[in-house]
């Protein structure tokens, strides 16, 4: 997804939803001294979404080797990938959109292993090298993998045929954290804020030589981050959603020239 056309960060919110301005069919945000979101024609709007703050939940997955073949003098492989990962342990950054897959190999001895002994060996392997983006532990004789960083996205393990993978805790992506806001709007976030995110999609028209100077359409969007803990947040959200949902009064504010 391309970057937002515009964005606004509200750490302090005026009383009586004064930040939300609708006049002559144009919607904007103003902090009392200046516009912090450029006007958008309401008729150009395509829709909006609201996402509450969430710190993110790391996923936890168990690998059970009991259902697979447990053989002596055999090789067992575990692979872990995080498709959205960019930064890697010990430094370095993903290049050319490659997805790094960390692989771990365990060889069994002359005696057939148990499911627990295999899991124990993989716990040692994963934690020794520390590059998978997960932490390994033993849980009820199974290999338990816990995601380290929710900002990287979920992880996906794969194992030998017969072994089973069970999701214990589903992954939940973070939303509205100061880190997310700071990445889009440097120096504008508050380290203690919990932002609700509003995404407004709209169409923008502009003249284009490719169509003989006539107007072409481009899909754009803006982001609004408002601190849920700020005074006056409830009134701000109520009015913002009223404007976006078409229930704002007076109705004449929706009318342009």
* pLDDT score recorded for residue 78: 96
Q: Are 65 and 163 in contact (CB under 8 A)?
A: yes
* pLDDT score recorded for residue 200: 98
* pLDDT score recorded for residue 216: 72
Class of domain 60-169: mainly beta
* pLDDT score recorded for residue 161: 79
* pLDDT score recorded for residue 165: 97
Q: In this predicted model, which residue has the larger pLDDT, 212 or 29? A: 29
Residue 117 and residue 69: Cα distance in Å, rounded?
A: 13
* pLDDT score recorded for residue 180: 96
* pLDDT score recorded for residue 210: 60
Span(s) in the chain for CATH 2.60.40: 60-169
* pLDDT score recorded for residue 99: 60
Per-position b or e across 120-159, b if 16+ CB within 10 A of its CB: bbbbebbeeeeebbbbbbebebbbbbbbbebbbbbbebeb
* pLDDT score recorded for residue 256: 79
Confirm whether pTM is higher than 0.85.
Answer: no
Residue 190 and residue 164: Cα distance in Å, rounded?
A: 43
Distance of CA 196 to the CA centre of its chain: 13
pLDDT tens column, 197-251: 999 999 987 766 665 666 777 899 999 999 999 999 999 999 999 999 999 999 9
Residue 196 and residue 237: Cα distance in Å, rounded?
A: 9
pLDDT tens column, 49-105: 999 999 999 999 999 999 889 999 999 999 999 988 766 555 555 544 456 789 999
* pLDDT score recorded for residue 96: 44
pLDDT tens column, 176-208: 999 999 999 999 999 999 999 999 999 987 766
């Amino acid at each position: 997804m391309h970057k937002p056309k515009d964005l606004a960060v509200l750490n302090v919110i005026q009383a009586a939803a004064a930040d939300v301005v609708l006049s002559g069919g144009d919607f904007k945000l103003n902090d009392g001294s200046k516009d912090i979101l450029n006007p958008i024609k309401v008729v150009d709007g395509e829709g909006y979404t609201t996402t509450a703050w969430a710190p993110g939940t790391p996923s936890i997955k168990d690998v059970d080797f009991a259902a697979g073949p447990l053989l002596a003098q055999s090789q067992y492989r575990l692979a872990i990938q995080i498709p959205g990962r960019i930064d890697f342990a010990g430094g370095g950054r993903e290049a050319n959109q490659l997805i790094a897959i960390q692989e771990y190999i365990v060889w069994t001895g002359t005696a057939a292993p148990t499911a627990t002994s295999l899991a124990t060996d993989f716990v040692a392997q994963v934690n020794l090298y520390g590059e998978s983006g997960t932490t390994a532990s033993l849980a009820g004789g199974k290999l338990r993998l816990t995601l380290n960083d929710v900002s990287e996205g979920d992880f996906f393990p794969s194992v030998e045929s017969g072994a089973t993978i069970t999701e214990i805790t589903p992954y939940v992506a973070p939303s509205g954290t100061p880190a997310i806001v700071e990445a889009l709007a440097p120096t504008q976030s508050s380290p203690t804020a919990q932002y609700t995110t509003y995404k407004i999609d709209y169409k923008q028209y502009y003249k284009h030589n490719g169509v003989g100077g006539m107007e072409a359409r481009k899909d754009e969007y803006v982001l609004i981050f408002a601190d849920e803990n700020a005074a006056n947040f409830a009134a701000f959200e109520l009015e913002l959603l009223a404007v976006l949902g078409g229930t704002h009064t007076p109705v004449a504010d929706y009318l342009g020239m």
